[in-house]
Amino acid sequence: MYINQFKEGYFTPLALTARLTEELGELAREINHYYGEKRKKPTEPEKTVEEELGDLLFVVICMANSLHIDLGQAVETVLNKFQTRDKDRWTKKD
C-alpha cells in the first residue's frame, strides 16, 4: 500500500472524512465548470473531472485500508443489494 511506506501512516477516520468532503467539493466545482453555468476564470488552474474523481477515489481507498475494509467485498454487497432490493425499480434496455 502506498501510504504504508511513510511513518506517519493513514490519517484518522475523521480526518479522512474531512478530506473526502474537500475532494468531493473540488469534484463538484469541476463538474460545475464543465457542465454547469459557472465557467472557469482565466486565472484558475486547469483541472479535469477525471483528476478530481481520482483524488476522491484515492481518499476512499485510504479510508477503507485504514479501517481494514475490503472494498471489493463492499462493492459486491452493494451490487447484490441493488440486484435484489431494486431489481424492478428501473426499466431494462432490450
Report pLDDT digits (tens) over 6-56.
988 889 999 999 999 999 999 999 999 989 888 888 888 888 999 999 999
User: What is the pLDDT at residue 3?
Assistant: 86
Nearest to 22 by CA among 11, 37, 38: 11
pTM of this prediction? Answer: 0.82
The reply to whether 94 falls in a domain is: no
- Check pLDDT > 90 for residue 87: no
List C-alpha distances in Å: 83 to 42, 60, 79, 86, 90: 45, 23, 6, 6, 11
Question: What is the number of other CB atoms lying within 10 angstroms of the CB of residue 59?
Answer: 20
Whether residue 66 has pLDDT greater than 90: yes
CA distance 89 to 56: 28
| Cβ-based neighbour number of residue 52 at 10 Å | 19
Per the domain annotation, does 91 fall within a domain? no
Work out how many domains the chain is built from and give that number: 1
Q: Within a domain: residue 60?
A: yes
Per-residue confidence (pLDDT) for residue 90, from 0 to 100: 85
Q: 46: domain CATH number?
A: 1.10.287.1080
